[in-house]
Amino acid sequence: MMKIPDDIYDPCPCQSGKKYKFCCYKKGPGSAPQVDFTYRRYRQLEAALIPELMECAVHTWGKSAIFEAWDEFHLWKYEEDFSPDSLFNQVFMPYFLFYWTPDLDNTECDTKGFEGKTVVEIFLSKRQSTISPEQIEILNSANRRPLNLYEILNVVPEAGYRVRDLFTEEEYEITEQMGSRDVRRGNIVLCAIFNIAGRWQNMATAPCQLSPIEKQPILNLREQIKSHLSVSKLTDSHLVEFGDDIRELYLNLARALLNPQKPILTNTDGDLLVPQKLYFEVNSAKVAFDGLKTLARKVMSDKELLRDAIFESEILEKVEIPWFKTGKNSNEEAGYTVLGRVAIHGKKLVVSVNSDNRANKIRIKIERILGENVRYVRSVIESIEKQFSEMNTVSADPAQEVIGEEMPPEVQAQIKKMADAHWKKWLIEPIPVLNGLSPRNASKTKIGRDLLESLLLYYEQQDARSSKNIYSPNIEELREKLGIKRKG
């Protein structure tokens, strides 16, 4: 939805290149993209009411009310006191004004005469005769609307988006101009929605969108509530009854997003990640290569290993050897797992591995294979942060920048083969975000298909950030194999 220019001499929004006065302005209403003036007017009226509602709350209940509401909003689990600068205020303030009522058994607020009333209800009882009919309509429509979790189904920038209530499973077309710029299809938002002038609008939209893979605990809570109530479908009244549980779930997920805990990182052997390098001295690069090329046997030929090697006067000077794990304990479909990398440069040999266990194993292998031709010097432990930093730093040497299409064709083919094997196996492997089911089994149930759709959307979001990742899945092919049609 495009904006009509504030000045008739501004460029016309139809992008003709003419001034608005000499283009669509002369053609009359409907010729140029029209601003939804009704939507804008109601939004302006809504915004103008907020300071008056705040004044009413403080005048009626006292200044302690907002602190009591803050603690209850966070279910008494948030250590920080209320602050006007809090990130959560964009959802908390509407909650305080339109939804919250003091706990009569545990409050310092002066509730006499207004027991069980929201700020909006108190304000209307005092000021209804002094405000416009549109403002009364806004307040009555938004009052006591519950906060809930909605999945974004489709987005029309500058106009709005379609959402699905993850608890009642109802769908709504939301009119929202500014907010539609920031939401992403598949993501999940916490907000309240209300109907005004025949259209649905949102308010109290929480600051953090949850990614599609966060849907699993939400659907699990929905099914728990339905089971507890012995109902097949939830209603708005149920959202009010279990509002604390829904809000608590969102807050836990949002805080984990805002304050991620460092994970315990392990490699494919299950060993704790301890990146390190082992330094050796060898009698010659050729002797070391001839002995250690067996680390890559069954995967790479001598010709492939020597492709990027450096020779001086026809004598091998510099070469790298991947250390592969093959056999029954490896990924049989992919063929191998890379355990480490051996770099030989003249009489120096450096091995890079990511765990103490692999470091011990490779040292024993090297000393057994090369015998008197090698001498261990030292090991250096590296921080994981440094490893990630090096991975994300673009090399100054173009020869090192071999990603995606820049890789040699045979390497691309090998990785493509590994990727195909991985995604073939993915179809039948249990996945935690699918409640421990494999994609094939999940596709046989309603909830499973719902979770699968979100997982595939998540993959699409990740793939959009890395267009050259040739390991990415073919989403349409996976959908076809699982019988999951694209929504929207």
Question: In CATH, what number is assigned to the domain containing residue 220?
Answer: 2.40.50
Mean pLDDT of the chain: 84
* Residue 15: closest CA among 3, 28, 29, 27: 3
Residue 106 DSSP one-character state: S
End-to-end CA distance of the chain: 20
CB 331 within 8 A of CB 262: no
- 394 pLDDT more than 60: no
CATH number for 300: 3.30.160
Residue 390 or 432, more confident: 432
In angstroms, the CA 316 to CA 312 distance is 6
137 and 198 in a single domain? The answer is no
In a domain, 244, yes or no: yes
Strands 348-353 and 276-282: antiparallel
Q: Do both 99 and 208 map to the same domain?
A: no
Which pLDDT does position 488 carry in this prediction?
Answer: 56
* Strand-by-strand arrangement of the 310-312 sheet: 310-312, 315-325, 337-345, 348-353, 276-282, 374-381
Task: Read off the pLDDT band of 269 (50, 70, 90).
Answer: confident
- Other CB atoms within 10 A of residue 212 CB: 24
- Same-domain pairing of 74 and 156: no
Per-residue pLDDT band for 468 (boundaries 50, 70, 90) equals: low
Kindly tell me if the per-residue pLDDT of 99 is higher than 90. Answer: yes
Do residues 383 and 415 share a domain? no
Q: What are the start-end ranges of the E strands in 58-187?
A: 148-156, 160-165, 171-175
Domain identity same for 43 and 120: yes
Separation between Cα atoms, residue 331 and residue 335, nearest integer Å: 6
Mean pLDDT over 224-248 rounds to 95
In a domain, 164, yes or no: yes
Residues 130 and 152 in one domain: no
Last residue of a domain, one of 142, 170, 193: 142
Give 348's strand partners: 281, 345
The Cα 117–Cα 99 span in angstroms is 9
Residue 183: pLDDT band with limits 50, 70, 90: confident
How many structural domains comprise the chain? 4
Of residues 97, 88, 81, 83, the one with CA closest to residue 208: 88
Q: Residue 331 has what pLDDT? A: 45
Q: Give the pLDDT score at 485.
A: 83
CA 464 to chain centre: 13
Residue 10 lies in a domain: no
So what's the pLDDT on residue 204? 87
Identify the CA nearest to 199 among candidates 32, 51, 37, 31: 37
pLDDT tens per residue across span 320-334: 999 998 655 444 444
From 258, 286, 320, give the residue that closes a domain: 258
- Which amino acid, one-letter code, is at 336? Y
pLDDT at 408: 62
Place of tokens 């608005």: 20
User: Considering the domain boundaries, does residue 400 fall inside one?
Assistant: no
One domain, residues 161 and 251: yes
Over residues 132-150, the pLDDT tens digits come to 999 999 999 999 999 999 9
Q: Which residue has the tokens 């008739």?
A: 8
CA 276 → CA 187, 350, 386, 446, distances in Å?
39, 10, 11, 47
Looking at the fold, whether 51 and 110 belong to one and the same domain comes out as yes
For residues 161 and 452, give the distance between their C-alpha atoms in angstroms, rounded to a whole number: 22
Which residue is listed with tokens 């608590």? 248
Identify whether 204 is part of a domain. Answer: yes
Q: Identify whether 176 is part of a domain.
A: yes
Task: Judge whether residue 409 has pLDDT over 80.
Answer: no
Question: Residue 467 and residue 260: Cα distance in Å, rounded?
Answer: 26
Based on the domain organization, do 281 and 342 belong to the same domain? yes
Please check whether residues 99 and 204 belong to one and the same domain: no
Would you say residue 385 has pLDDT above 60?
no
Domain-embedded: residue 178: yes
Average pLDDT, integer, range 99-125: 92
Amino acid (one-letter) located at 403: I
Residue at a domain's end among 120, 142, 164: 142
350 with 433, same domain: the answer is: no
Pairwise CA distance, residues 31 & 326, whole Å: 69
The answer to whether residue 327 is domain-embedded is yes
CB 182 within 8 A of CB 423: no
Domain limits for position 366: 276-393
The Cα–Cα gap between 360 and 207 comes to 48
Structure tokens at 316: 């091998």
DSSP letter at 183 equals -
Beta bridge partners of 163: 152, 172
Q: Are 286 and 302 in contact (CB under 8 A)?
A: no
Q: Are residues 152 and 134 in the same domain?
A: no
